[in-house]
Structure 1
Amino acid sequence: MPTLCRDCLHRVEPAVTRCVACGSRRVVSHPELFRLTVAHVDCDAFYASVEKRDRPELLSRPVIVGGGKRGVVSACCYIARTRGVRSAMPMFKALAACPDAVVIKPEMAKYVHEGRRIRTMMEALTPLVQPMSIDEAVLDLAGTEALHGAPPAVVLARFALAVEREVGVTVSIGLAANRLMAKLAAERDKPRGFAVIGADEAAGWLAPQPVSLLPGVGPAMAKRLQAAGFSTLGQLGALEPREAMRRFGDEGPALAARARGEDARRVNPDRETKSISAETTFETDIAAREALEAPLWRLCEKLARRLTEKGFAAGGVTLKLKTAAFATRTRAARLPQPTRLPDVLFAAVRPLLAKEADGTAFRLIGIGAQPLAAAADADLGDLADPEAPKRAARWAAVETLRAKFGDGAVMRGRGLRK
């Protein structure tokens, strides 16, 4: 059975538990190890790992990256996870579970920079890299063996070592025959893992697993499936297409196919971005409309900047509010023409806020751009709004000044914190 040492990259045929060349126990063996080409790469506790890299004194401490007592956990290290802390957990619950945790405010610019470094390293392996988030991506290395002088498994193990050496964080890799199984494999052996699921074993490996394991099956869908008598993926995968459609509608056949490990999606480096957003959690709940407008304006500026950075414009806006009881409210509106200007975004989302500001106390507010439009179509002006190009030029000038002198160089009064 093909075997690879993940530390010295030594390859042998017989399956062993310890590398015969360097003695490492970090070996991986699988019949299809050197034939599979689709990989899912996921950084381990990325935000927390970057912070521990920069502050070595925290290596043995539980670390939570989040937005203060009123916020939620953005990420946490594996030490904190053993105490019950999870991403998206309210911060007060996380601190109750792990009171000795070191809490660090997120520094997104740093994480984005490091994520881009890792992305560049991925793109040196293959042009077929599809980002899934700031710290994970799926790759297809088919046809690259001649280029790298090694099969994909070896190239990926070499890449993982390079990330540790050059960036200072670790990654986990899942290698499989398709995207779905590669993602599930990447979750099997975290952190610093390398798991392989072959094409022939996918259905058998999935069969005893709970339906909640399948990506896209959230708590509500899992309850629905269990109520219908499907608690395992094997039960779900046994459905014929016609029966799956009868029970679960148009999505039924695809759901049953995925439960068997089937996935025909290709790795698409040009995956379409569907929305861009920005949000903030308050230190204390806010109910008054006027008090909500100041942070909403600042989010409009942040969203405008993100649209520009990503080369998009907003064709519509979505307001997001979360109550003190964690209930989420959303409202949306289409724009008469695409924009990347915070003034226009604010003018569109402000009436939506007025409808929701009914005395309810909110802990979070956010704004999103959806649908997205081409940047070239933004703020062109027309007979109804001939001043749009001038406003666009003023905003560009403001951003230029901020880039040179800091965000506080030019500010609107409505954005000042009271």
Structure 2
Amino acid sequence: MRCPRCGRSRLVAHPELDRLAVAHVDCDAFYCSVEKRDRPELADRPVIVGGGSRGVVSSACYIARMRGVRSAMPMFTALAACPDAVVIRPDFASYARVARSLRAMMEALTPLVQPLSIDEAVLDLSGTEALHRAPPAVMLARLAARVEAEERITVSIGLSSNRLLAKLAAGIDKPRGFAVLGSEAPHWLAARGVRTLPGIGPAQERALVARGFTTLGQLQALGPREAQSRLGPDGPALVLRARGIDTRRIDPARETKSVSAETTFDRDLRTLPALEAELWRLCERLGARLRDKDLAAGGVVLKLKTAAFRSRTRTQRLHAPTRLPDTLFATARKLLAREIDGTEFRLIGIGAAPIRPGAEADRADLSDPALPRRVATQQAIDALRLRFGAAAVGRGRGLGDTGTGGARTGDVKTEPR
């Protein structure tokens, strides 16, 4: 069957199609899709984007997923499941450029766009039909077609009456899907397992099963008092979600609570010079992410994970908000130096918290007369990298042997870009 208007074979039919306006847009295997777009020879190959042999999977293409590879899976487990996979180190600058393009396309449809991550967002198209002279469903279909034409990647779209149901709908027909959940949503949910609800992980699932709840229909049957007595203070809210009820608004100004970057080493590190080299690269990455989001760091969070998988977290407020990598590094280095006691570390991370508006970053300060020059230098570096690529220019601190004795996270089994 083909559409009588456009001739395409992909049809979406629903009795409430013209009345629903909340959409969840989710890119399909985003990082891998961008890599395959830029490297057509990988189109039919299993591709994994992520860390080194001791890192984790950031993204797996659908071919790799058919072999059992999943996001956040340890890399050695992923390669055991899919030994012929092409592993590519993440190119976050490239992904960010595509994400900015997609966000601009969404904002052309409605100002009510709330990004949830680099590759997904929720939109409210209520009241836009008069502007676009087409209902939200039509504009979303056009959005999906535009993304494919201009960025050469695909998205899956869920359309419903609220955020929860739109997210669930977006996962029904991936990849390249368009699904709708309307008034039939409670019935659709009732037969599904409790793990279907976003936010319910293995531990909560086990707790619910232990209390006799295996399906969402069983939760739907509870009244408020029974829900609280059997499930605790959060029980009534869980029952509402099981019924598909979600009152959260779409807020384009939703505050970003943290921005961070981390890396897992291929070999444990314990000396300050080796760890400093990795910390500097992360500070550069963190600074770039803050500048890209027009945010600033009001403080620094250092994260370390020992060879025994014990975590250490250290924090330090900054004298003034910044997004300069050298300022972030100066503070983080002091925190790192206090942890050098012979312990071997397998992971290091750096984060910004609290988050401040970008307008507050790196203001002129009499106590730091060189600050304007350092800001100008970073702006020049950013301009050169934007024009010639991330590797076009770097600081001396980022050069030389890292001391890792091997590739850093994401470099194992990587083919040339």
1:316/1:251 CA distance change after superposition, 3 Å:
farther
Q: Compute the displacement of 1:410 (Å).
A: 5.8
1:387/1:127 CA distance change after superposition, 3 Å:
same
Structure 2 counterparts to residues 320-331 of structure 1, below 5 A: 320-324=303-307, 326-331=309-314
Q: Compute the displacement of 1:168 (Å).
A: 0.8
User: AA paired with 1:256?
Assistant: V
1:146/1:283 CA distance change after superposition, 3 Å:
same
- In the other structure, the counterpart of 2:72 is 88
SS for the counterpart of 1:75 is strand
Return 5+ residue gaps in structure 2 as ranges. 386-390, 403-417
User: AA paired with 1:402?
Assistant: I
- In the other structure, the counterpart of 1:137 is 121
* Higher RCO by CA contacts (8 Å cutoff, separation 6 or greater): 2
Q: CA separation in 1, counterparts of 2:214 and 2:340?
A: 42
Identity across the alignment (%): 64
Structure 2 counterparts to residues 334-413 of structure 1, below 5 A: 334-354=317-337, 356-379=339-362, 386-388=366-368, 390-403=369-382, 411=395, 413=397
Q: CA separation in 2, counterparts of 1:196 and 1:104?
A: 35
The CA deviation string for residues 167-218 of structure 1, in whole angstroms up to 9 with x for no partner, is: 11111110111010000000010011111110x2222211222222211222
- Aligned partner (choices 101, 109, 121) of residue 105 of structure 2: 121
Which deviates further from its counterpart, 17-26 or 299-308? 17-26
Q: CA separation in 1, counterparts of 2:398 and 2:150?
A: 43
Structure 2 counterparts to residues 213-292 of structure 1, below 5 A: 213-292=196-275
Say yes or no: does 1:201 pair with 2:184: yes
1:237/1:293 CA distance change after superposition, 3 Å:
farther
1:412/1:197 CA distance change after superposition, 3 Å:
same
Q: Compute the displacement of 1:401 (Å).
A: 3.9
Q: CA separation in 2, counterparts of 1:415 and 1:256?
A: 55
- In the other structure, the counterpart of 1:39 is 23
Q: CA separation in 2, counterparts of 1:374 and 1:22?
A: 45
Contact residue 316 and residue 369 of structure 1 kept, 8 A? yes
User: AA paired with 1:397?
Assistant: A
CA RMSD of aligned residues (A): 2.6
- In the other structure, the counterpart of 2:144 is 160
Say yes or no: does 1:212 pair with 2:212: no
- Aligned partner (choices 168, 176, 187) of residue 160 of structure 2: 176
SS for the counterpart of 2:209 is helix
Contact residue 398 and residue 410 of structure 1 kept, 8 A? no
Q: CA separation in 2, counterparts of 1:405 and 1:157?
A: 37
TM-score (norm 2): 0.86
TM-score (norm 1): 0.86
Contact residue 158 and residue 170 of structure 2 kept, 8 A? yes
Q: Compute the displacement of 1:43 (Å).
A: 1.1
Q: CA separation in 1, counterparts of 2:343 and 2:192?
A: 42
SS for the counterpart of 1:373 is strand
Q: CA separation in 1, counterparts of 2:270 and 2:60?
A: 31
The CA deviation string for residues 210-236 of structure 1, in whole angstroms up to 9 with x for no partner, is: 222211222222233333332222223
The CA deviation string for residues 86-124 of structure 1, in whole angstroms up to 9 with x for no partner, is: 112222221111111222222221111112112111111
The CA deviation string for residues 300-346 of structure 1, in whole angstroms up to 9 with x for no partner, is: 23323332332322222222223445554433333354333444433
Contact residue 52 and residue 265 of structure 2 kept, 8 A? no
SS for the counterpart of 1:70 is coil
Q: CA separation in 2, counterparts of 1:64 and 1:83?
A: 12
Return 5+ residue gaps in structure 1 as ranges. 1-16
- In the other structure, the counterpart of 1:5 is none
Q: CA separation in 2, counterparts of 1:60 and 1:340?
A: 40
